[in-house]
Amino acid sequence: MKVPQISNRTEAELIAAILGGEIQLYHELIRPYERSVYVMALSYMKNEADAEDVAQEAFVKAFRKLESFRAESKFSTWLISIAINETRTRLRRKALVRMESLDQPPDEDKSISPALLRDWREIPSEAVEREEVRNLIHLAVEQLPEIYREVFLLRDVEELTINETAEALKITIPSVKVRLHRARMRLQKQLAPQLRTVNRASKRGWLAWS
Amino acid sequence: MVIDCKHVWNYISEYMDGTLSDETRDTVQKHLDHCEICSAILDSTRSVIILVADDRVFELPVGFSERLHARIDLEFMAP
């Protein structure tokens, strides 16, 4: 497996050096993962200030626990599971745990019918520069049941493998696959028609943005 | 083996990830080759995922990094 190279030291070397006393290297170690940890925190906390707070806390905890990190996991996966634990603790403390996570997981919707679209055309990536499009996407992701959302974010946004996603969330590989499928289908169902409409309505606008 | 559209939908995600068995993948592939509806579902699902995963969709708040590293300095690196 490829280990990310940071200023010529591998992650493993950085971690060893930090544990050996060069603690200022911790800044360097975490820099590549700031966004991943923040995005995961945001998906649970739902507002930027709380998400930032939780992300900071997760990085602080990870430093304190660094000695317990074992090289069989990837540092990123380990870090993200600390962040997820931190968000869950925080939500419980605030008694903000949503009912859906207490109830049976919504595993009943065996087959989600996708949106049927004729003449689908790829939406250009510049679309996301528009606030309207970002808002549609944020809303759709936010509306996913939590168990689907966390799998989707880790796998498709943070690009963890299926195995790493299972490890970070402490669930089985078949569960990851099923939840990922449902998350993707729900997003297709909601976003594909919306994005296509927005795209069509503003065809003339594209040039200005590209 | 020939399968109908609804069955194909159940395989879309695993088809994208390349985790289907060879036999199932071939069956799905054959269906996709002649079914415009299912091809559009596959393409639109891919496209939606690419857009959601774009770095510009979920951005770090301004100053996030500076505040994070200042906090770490304060907690652990203070003399």
The domain boundary, picked from A73, A97, A121, lies at A97
For residue A192, give its domain range.
105-209
The domain boundary, picked from A58, A77, A97, lies at A97
Interface test with B, best of A181, A186, A189, A200 (most B CBs within 10 A): A181
A142 interfaces chain B, CB cutoff of 8 Å: no
User: If you measure CA to CA, which chain B residue comes closest to A187?
Assistant: B48
Residues 162-201 of A with CB under 8 A from B: 162, 177, 180-181, 184-185, 187-188, 191-192, 195-196
- Statement to judge: residues A93 and A109 lie in one domain: no
Q: What does the alpha-carbon distance between residue A177 and residue A156 come to, in Å, rounded to a whole number?
A: 12
Q: Pairing mode, if any, of strands A5-6 and A9-10?
A: antiparallel
For residue A96, give every residue at least 6 positions away whose Cβ sits within 8 Å of its Cβ, in sequence order, or none: none
For residue A52, give every residue at least 6 positions away whose Cβ sits within 8 Å of its Cβ, in sequence order, or none: A38, A41, B61, B64, B67
- Statement to judge: residues A54 and A83 lie in one domain: yes
What local confidence, expressed as pLDDT, does residue A210 receive? 41
Residue-wise pLDDT tens digits, B15-70: 999 999 999 999 999 999 999 999 999 999 999 999 999 989 988 999 999 999 99
Interface test with A, best of B42, B58, B60, B62 (most A CBs within 10 A): B58
User: What per-residue string of b and e applies to A60-94 under the rule 16 or more CB within 10 Å gives b?
Assistant: bbbbeebeebeeeebbbbbbbbbbbebbeebbeee
What local confidence, expressed as pLDDT, does residue A106 receive? 55
- Statement to judge: residues A111 and A84 lie in one domain: no
- Listed by start position, the domains of chain B span 5-77
- Residue A26 is part of a domain; what is its CATH number? 1.10.1740.10
Of B10, B19, B40, the CB nearest to A117: B40
For B58, the 3-state DSSP assignment is coil
- pLDDT confidence band for B77 (50 / 70 / 90): confident
A117 and B47 Cβ atoms separated by less than 8 Å:
no
Please state the pTM of the whole predicted model. 0.84
For A70, the 3-state DSSP assignment is coil
CA of residue A180 relative to chain centroid, distance: 12
What local confidence, expressed as pLDDT, does residue A1 receive? 44
A42 and A142 Cβ atoms separated by less than 8 Å:
no
- Statement to judge: residues A88 and A125 lie in one domain: no
How does pLDDT run along chain A (210 residues), one tens digit per residue?
A: 445 544 568 899 999 999 999 999 999 999 999 999 999 999 888 889 999 999 999 999 999 999 999 888 889 999 999 999 999 888 887 765 555 554 445 555 556 789 998 778 888 999 999 999 999 999 999 999 989 999 999 999 999 999 999 999 999 999 999 999 999 999 999 999 999 888 777 655 555 444
Shortest distance, CA B18 to any CA of chain A (angstroms)? 12
- Statement to judge: residues A134 and A79 lie in one domain: no
The domain boundary, picked from A69, A97, A125, lies at A97
Q: What does the alpha-carbon distance between residue B19 and residue A48 come to, in Å, rounded to a whole number?
A: 36
- For chain B, the residues whose C-beta falls within 8 A of a C-beta of chain A are 6, 9-10, 12-14, 16-17, 19, 36-37, 40-41, 43-45, 47-58, 60-61, 64-65, 67-69, 71-72, 75-77
- Statement to judge: residues A14 and A68 lie in one domain: yes
Q: What does the alpha-carbon distance between residue A151 and residue A130 come to, in Å, rounded to a whole number?
A: 26
Q: What does the alpha-carbon distance between residue A151 and residue A140 come to, in Å, rounded to a whole number?
A: 15
A79 and A60 Cβ atoms separated by less than 8 Å:
no
What local confidence, expressed as pLDDT, does residue A6 receive? 47
Flag if B13 and A52 touch (Cβ within 8 Å).
no
User: If you measure CA to CA, which chain A residue comes closest to B35?
Assistant: A118
Flag if B75 and A42 touch (Cβ within 8 Å).
no
Interface test with A, best of B24, B52, B76 (most A CBs within 10 A): B52
Whose tokens are 């660094």? That residue is A66
- Quote the number of domains for chain A: 2
- Statement to judge: residues A134 and A161 lie in one domain: yes
- Statement to judge: residues A159 and A181 lie in one domain: yes
